[in-house]
Amino acid sequence: MNSAIFLGIDLGTSGVRGSAIDLQGKEHASVRIPLAHIQQPSDWQHAAFNVIRQLCGQVEAERIQAIAIDGTSGTVMLCDADGKPCSPALMYNDQSCTEEADEISRYAPEDSAARGASSSLAKALFLLRKYPDAAHICHQADWISGLLCGRFDVSDENNCLKLGYDPVKREWPRWLSAFKIDHALFPQVFAPGTVISTVDSDITKQLGLPAHCQLVAGTTDSIAAFIATGASEIGEAVTSLGSTLVLKLISDKPVFSSRLGVYSHRLGDTWLAGGASNSGGKALLKYFDRARMDELTPMLEPGSLTGLDYYPLAEAGERFPLNDPQLQPKLEPRPDDDVKFFQGMLEGIADIEANGYKTLSQLGAPAVKKVFTAGGGSINPAWRKIRQLKLGVPVEIAEHSEASYGAALLAMRASV
């Protein structure tokens, strides 16, 4: 067992990535295959199977004990009893199911993650009305997992949150019966990191996996990326500094606010509370390209704050920690000095981050005590110092932040 290897497969927004790790968390191999902007299930299968084959070729395949899959949250399709797709895939960012969202709002509790046009439930209702002969509602990760084990009626607690699953009571709630959906269409739900079954023998031969390889329940891509950082204690958090600003905090109890887009995913014996601001790298890139930011960074003075009270947004509209679709960017007055303007924007984003964690605490989550940073902005040392000043807690760069690595950790945890 000491020489065991565990695989994690991440079905991300632009590609499929795989990681192979050992019991100590050392990554022995990683593979990435890009995906087109417009995707269908066959694209996921082709890329995911190729990634698994390549990983098996880069490690001693017989050492592989388990595999877990993560996928983009809210990406939904329908399939028949044998797993054959009987609808197109509606992607995570599709917000076209507005009529279904209105219908859901009449029955779903105020704080349900199934509310909204981008939810899994809205997409499932839309697809079922066009393809009524389907046997299973599948998220992206569910379907790939189904191909591996021959069961298309299984999912995990995190992917099912936006389908209406109640993570507190750990059941499909009664209010779902209002939509007259055959209960058999909903998957059996497993906790992330628990064994579902052994991988199908035909698939192990096809991909080069050993016959004993187990399939472990996965999660969504953003939660897999959180797990990858190693954050594990109540009060620890991860801030992703990408095009937007995404906060996730480990809580001892679930907190919800549909108005602010705050939901809690069950993760082991704890909860992962999160929210996302429209501020972030996209706002910075409106004024500075990456080369200019690299040029300005050494001139920043994080110990001497500018006092500029900015709210950096690329365009009007904010969702968290303020819910204001009309909120205008606040970037005045603009000093002549680019260094000061750039630092003022970084300070503004840091203020939003601090207010975000404060808002989560006001909703009932614990106060943040440590922040791990992931995403492109994490490598800016001056920004990290500014954030540490604003947050008042240690801020560290996460050693790992790839979702595939987090999925591999889930596979490992099921086996130890």
CA 346 to CA 384: how far, in whole Å? 10
- 233-398 is classed CATH 1.10.3720.10: no
With beta carbons less than 8 A apart as the criterion, state whether 43 and 26 touch. Answer: no
Q: How many CB atoms lie within 10 A of CB 394?
A: 11
Using DSSP bridges, classify how beta strands 270-277 and 395-397 pair: parallel, antiparallel or unpaired: unpaired
In this prediction, the residues of the chain whose per-residue pLDDT falls under 70 are 1
241 Cα distance to chain centroid: 14
CA 262 to CA 274: how far, in whole Å? 6
The one-letter code for the residue type at 163 is L
Give the pLDDT confidence score for residue 415 in this predicted structure: 82
Domains 5-223+404-413 and 233-398 alike in fold:
yes
What phi and psi, each to the nearest 5 degrees, are found at residue 75? -85, 120
Q: What percent of the chain is predicted at pLDDT more than 70?
A: 100
Give the pLDDT confidence score for residue 212 in this predicted structure: 97
156-209 pLDDT, tens digit per residue, is: 999 999 999 999 999 999 999 999 999 999 999 999 999 999 999 999 999 999
Domain boundaries, the chain: 5-223+404-413, 233-398
CATH class of 5-223+404-413: alpha beta
Give the pLDDT confidence score for residue 157 in this predicted structure: 97
**Secondary structure in 3-state letters for the chain:** CCCCEEEEEEECCCEEEEEEEECCCCEEEEEEEECCCCCCHHHHHHHHHHHHHHHHHHCCHHHEEEEEEEECCCCEEEECCCCCECCCCECCCCCCCHHHHHHHHCCCCCCCCCCCCCCHHHHHHHHHHHCCCCCEEEEHHHHHHHHHHCCCCEEECCHHHHHCCECCCCECCHHHHHHCCCHHHCCEEECCCCEEEECCHHHHHHHCCCCCCEEEEEEEHHHHHHHHHCCCCCCEEEEEECCCEEEEEEECCCCCEHHHCEEEEEECCEEEEEEEECCCHHHHHCCCCHHHHHHHHHHCCCCCCCCCCCECCCCCCECCCCCECCCCCECCCCCCCHHHHHHHHHHHHHHHHHHHHHHHHHCCCCCCCEEEEECHHHHCHHHHHHHHHHHCCCEEECCCCCHHHHHHHHHHHCCC
Give the pLDDT confidence score for residue 351 in this predicted structure: 98
pTM, two decimals, is: 0.93
Give the pLDDT confidence score for residue 1 in this predicted structure: 63
Give the pLDDT confidence score for residue 75 in this predicted structure: 95
29-87 pLDDT, tens digit per residue, is: 999 999 988 889 999 999 999 999 999 999 999 999 999 999 999 999 999 999 999 99
